[in-house]
Chains A and B, each alone.
Chain A
């Protein structure tokens, strides 16, 4: 049922996942994906009745909301302590648009 995992697929998935894989890592990924997908294909062989709803976990509560009230939050400087690069106010990154 699973498509063979060729390097084009691996490249596509890596791009979606924002991983820059070396050729060796891509080849290893193709092997691993093939192996695990072959194992999980047993799920597709199961005949499941149409009225079985997927279960996504938790207690299936509806949105747990809180009043929209401004509360004290963490100080900007404290948060920016973990910034790889910052101007003291914002995170600084390479340009999004060239």
Chain B
């Protein structure tokens, strides 16, 4: 059995049937990480002993006839912004370099309870602020398709490890596109659930009204399998929704005939590179061949999404990151006075992009500017949300490119922060509105790098997105393409 060819779905099936042991599966991935991650640097920490111990325990319980969890034996990589009990959780920041959480994030606990096997923690942009993983305080992660190019961000490590076959499934987080954009750049499937669908308890907060945790994997089916486990209301996250969680795998095969796809003119009439435009057009043909119809829709305020997003996200970040003051979370700079302790710890502990966003957010919330910036941006947010609702009354899903380009090179967007921000143009609006969005690979660019297609849906209708993605993946093989090893 070639373990590297097995989907998450197959791994779970074969472990349950006894065709392969959990230890064999874990060992395979640990060996792959050992051999290949020096090239990609996707993992910040590999929890080798813990992974093998979990896997041994699963094999022991299986042999004893005990019931196994729904993901038994499935190796999973976790973005290092999620708290893992007893395992360093750094948010890729010097501020938390030595921080070891005393508890598991709810998602981490749910995966453990489902008998998934954690392989380690993956790299990210510091405090999830970035679109390339170049803002990691430790080192950048490389795109397995071409190591001169970024994997995207902020969940760059999570995307690269799946693309590089160093994990079948990983967990990322998405505040303005941080699951979908790296999924697009790395040629994998990444889902940002509806806000509230997945508990944020234990996710180191960046922007509390925008952050969502989601799965990243090779296929829609593997994503659906993971979603069924990690979703659901959590008493410890007061923003988590009480919506019932469907079996996300149940309707993957339901025919698409009758589904209405909305094509957003504001996104598709923008100047897209010819290869991206071409791939999207081909994808539309596939959906039409499966019985879906297309119609134009408008999201008139979506061009203002980036501006609204950066005001709101930075404002919330300035508040969430106020807790890192040298008092409680490991790092403290040399200082004589309290003021110095705060000021030096924060300036030394936070990288440049984090400091930039704290400054912007503090400014936007400060007296005299709060109405003009934060409130104004929040009103635009209302308009964007209402436009999604209105559009999704006449169509079932909105289709477009995930990103305006394929993965850019290292250093290409670092001189001008604003240039980096504009990479998120197609993804931020669904964070602002709360709607779910999935990115799936739909082609390769002229540069040989993956192109991503984004589907956005109604609140709590991840099932339709997964169904469309799954059936697209049955008609095409973009999701099975791999970088040359």
Whether the Cβ atoms of B379 and A94 lie closer than 8 Å is no
Stretch at the interface among B2-10, B155-163, B217-225, B324-332: B324-332
B338 engages A91 (CB within 8 Å): no
Within 8 A of A (CB), among B309-362: 310-311, 318, 322, 325-332, 335-344, 346-347, 350, 352, 355-356, 358-360, 362
Please determine whether A74 and B103 come into contact, CB atoms closer than 8 angstroms.
Answer: yes
A-binding segment of B23-31, B129-137, B276-284, B380-388 = B380-388
Alpha-carbon separation in the docked complex, A54 to B311 (Å): 13
Q: Is A8 an interface residue, CB under 8 A from the partner? A: no
- Do the beta carbons of A36 and B330 come within 8 Å of each other? no
Taking a contact as CB atoms under 8 Å apart, the answer to whether A52 and B338 are in contact is no
Of B146-154, B234-242, B245-253, the segment with at least 4 beta carbons within 8 Å of chain A is B234-242
Question: Is B307 a contact of A91 with CB atoms below 8 Å?
Answer: no
CB pair B195–A58 under 8 Å, yes or no, is yes
Residues of B within 8 A of A17 (CB): 318, 346, 358-359, 362
Q: Do the beta carbons of B331 and A84 come within 8 Å of each other? A: yes
Complex formed: what's the CA distance from A48 to B418 in Å?
A: 25
Which residues on B sit within 8 Å (CB–CB) of A44?
372, 376
Q: Is A87 an interface residue (CB 8 A)?
A: no
Contact of B440 with A by CB under 8 A: no
Q: For residue A29, which residues in chain B have a CB less than 8 angstroms away from its CB?
A: 355-356, 359
The count of chain A contact residues (Cβ–Cβ below 8 Å) is: 52
B363 within 8 A of A: yes
Residue of B nearest to A14 (CB): B359
Q: Which of A41-62 contact B (CB under 8 A)?
A: 42-44, 46, 48, 52-59, 61
Query: Do B418 and A35 touch across chains, with their CB atoms under 8 A apart?
Result: yes
With A54-B375, A58-B196 known as contacts, the answer to whether A81 contacts B100 (CB < 8 A) is yes
What is the bound-complex CA distance between A78 and B85, given in angstroms?
A: 11
B255 beta carbon closer than 8 Å to chain A: no
Check B328 against A55 for contact (C-beta < 8 Å): no
Contact A58 B434 (CB under 8 A): yes
Query: With a CB–CB cut-off of 8 A, which chain A residues contact B326?
Result: 84, 93
Q: Contact: B434 with A18, CB < 8 Å? A: no
A19 CB within 8 Å of chain B: yes
Whether the pair B376, A16 counts as a contact (CB closer than 8 A) is no
- Say if the beta carbon of B366 comes within 8 Å of chain A: yes
**Contact A93–B418 (Cβ < 8 Å):** no
Q: Does the CB pair B376–A43 fall under 8 Å?
A: yes
B346 near A18: Cβ-Cβ < 8 Å: yes
Q: Name the distance in Å between A4's Cβ and chain B's nearest Cβ.
A: 13
Is A27 an interface residue, CB under 8 A from the partner? no
Query: Does A13 contact B325, Cβ atoms closer than 8 Å?
Result: no
Q: Which residue of A lies closest to B307 (CB)?
A: A40
Q: Is the CB of B330 within 8 A of A82?
A: yes
Write the nearest CB–CB distance from A9 to chain B, whole angstroms.
Answer: 8
Residues of A within 8 A of B379 (CB): 48, 52-55
Which chain B residue shows the least CB distance to A93? B327
Contacts of A74 in B (CB 8 A): 102-103
Contact between A48 and B380 (Cβ–Cβ < 8 Å)? yes
* CB-defined contacts of A58 to chain B, threshold 8 Å: 195-196, 209, 239, 434
- Extra 6 A-B pairs, beta carbons < 8 Å, given A32-B356, A57-B381, A82-B100: A17-B346, A21-B347, A40-B377, A46-B304, A91-B327, A94-B338
Q: Would you mind naming 25 contact pairs between A and B with Cβ atoms under 8 Å apart? A: A13-B362, A14-B359, A16-B362, A18-B325, A19-B343, A19-B346, A20-B344, A29-B355, A42-B304, A43-B380, A44-B376, A46-B376, A48-B379, A48-B383, A52-B382, A52-B383, A55-B385, A57-B210, A59-B196, A61-B239, A74-B103, A79-B102, A93-B327, A94-B341, A95-B338
- Chain A residues close to B by CB (< 8 Å): 1, 9-10, 12-14, 16-21, 25, 28-29, 32-33, 35-37, 39-40, 42-44, 46, 48, 52-59, 61, 63-64, 66, 74, 78-79, 81-85, 91, 93-96
